Amino acid sequence: MELKIKNGKVYQKNRFVAADIGIEKGRITKLKKNLPRDSDEVINAKGKYIIPGIIDAHVHLRDLEQSYKETFVTGAKAAAHGGISTVLCMPNTLPPATTFNVIKKLNERKKDACVNIELFGGVENNFSEILRFGDFVRGYKIYMDTKSFSRNSLNESFNFFRENYENKKLKLVKPIAVHAEDGELIEKFGRENKICEIEAIKFVSGLAGKSGFPVHVCHISTPEGAETVKKSDLTCEVTPHHLFLSKGDYEYDNVNPPLRTKHDRLKLWENLNKIDIIASDHAPHTLEEKEQGASGFPGLETMLPLMLDSVNKGRLTIRRLIEMMCERPAEIFNLKNKGKIEIGFDADLTIVDMKRQVKLLGDNFCGKQKWTPFEGWKVKGIPTDTVVGGKVVMGDGEVV
């Protein structure tokens, strides 16, 4: 064996069992008690829980012309530090990932990262380019909140996907992720009006069946949005900042969709059973840019600690956390051999210490940006080790 993880409690088939994990050639090859000692490397997980590697389906890794904010290398280190083994990168890079050439450049950047990186291809009236994306992308992303957005353009995009799959120019059905805030309604009512999200989801739901492709709604921020998704065939995600922060809790709280009232935030928790996955929407900016109104927060290194703390506080079960952060992301985005701890699956694993208490401090981050809206928050439960493809990328809290 190349790596053995011993003495931990392993999450397998909806329960934790005492077992060792044997790993060879990047795959899980053995799952049983008291494995022999013939391994090159050993992790002693005594007193800890071993769960499938966390999958973050919504990150912005910047790079290219925004490398001063984050790169694939630094973002991957932040992910590893946060217990995350796989990230899905959004296409609003600079230049945007709407052409084959940019997609190809970003694909090259993946090779130097210590975690798995998958790409979304942007959809922006670039249909001839989309046909070239092929296996370079895991899915597609549509932004409804831009000034150039119209409901007609969304209809045209969904028709494009249906027609080109039917004529076999698109060979695989891949999920379409949607930023569901209606740009036309934002112009009319302002972004903070909940109707911008709710009506966008309703409109997407009405069109989704036309595409023949699964549609995923990004960063739900309202309980009404979650309820609307539940009534449809869509899937959706929620971010930690929409679960933990209310409008005004943080001085520089600009984010899209916006933070809501405390009442709406708590109602979002009540609707967690209607939401498929938790994703960070990691959106790093320099602190100077943030103070000037830039939208978004770093999130890769705070997401899992915040959610583990919530498990300790009884807000959700560890089983539900694993479902939302491992199993469902793998299912929705067709990440084969990920999301579960089974023989033959990729050796992507996260080891967590549910008893350890820490303060969240930006100075301890591995990403380029050393700030967080959760600065100084005390949490109980943290990732201590991250394994990606059988390689230890974080050991005992230190990124390798």
Quote the CA–CA distance of 246 and 266 in Å, as a whole number.
9
Quote the CA–CA distance of 140 and 133 in Å, as a whole number.
10
Q: Exactly one of 63, 145, 264, 281 is catalytic; which is it?
A: 281
Cβ distance 248 to 204 under 8 Å? no
Token pair recorded at residue 342: 């089974």
Residue 369 buriedness (CB in 10 A; 0-12 / 13-18 / 19+): buried
Task: Tell me the β-bridge partners of 21.
Answer: 5, 31
| Dihedral sign (CA 125, 129, 134, 136) | negative
Q: In the annotation, is 281 catalytic? A: yes
CB-based contacts of 107-111 (< 8 A; 24+ apart in sequence): 107/136, 109/63, 109/71, 109/72, 109/73, 110/72
| Sheet with 116-122, edge to edge strand ranges | 54-59, 84-89, 116-122, 139-143, 176-179, 215-217, 235-238, 277-278
Residues designated as active site? 281
